[in-house]
Amino acid sequence: MGWSLGLVYAILFYTPFPLSIPLAIAGFILTNFYLKKIVVKRMNVISDRRSSSGPQSVNYSCINCGTNHSQAACPKCGSKMKGANFRS
Ligand SMILES: [Zn+2]
């Protein structure tokens, strides 16, 4: 917001009076529109990061005894045979 107000003041200062008013308004609206776009983009990036780095939903279930675990080998029977278990 302060950024766009600075631009408006610059336009008011550097352009002659009758021209400066519509230019200042256009500049204000354009910069706000542009800043909103950036904010929306940042929000999307944040939500993307959140969804990708959330708690691990992929688990494994032992094929031998059916125990759900996320280790290389089954903690119950020691079997390394396991299937991916996608849970929410
Ligand atoms: Zn097992």
CA of 24 to the centre of ligand 1 (A): 71
CA of 70 to the centre of ligand 1 (A): 12
CA of 87 to the centre of ligand 1 (A): 19
Say if residue 77's pLDDT is above 90.
yes
- Per residue in 15-66, pLDDT tens? 777 777 888 788 888 888 888 888 888 888 877 766 655 555 567 889 899 8
Domain ranges of the chain: 2-52, 55-88
CA of 58 to the centre of ligand 1 (A): 17
CA of 77 to the centre of ligand 1 (A): 4
Q: What is the pTM of this model?
A: 0.33
**Residue 60 burial (C-beta neighbours within 10 Å; 0-12, 13-18, 19+):** middle
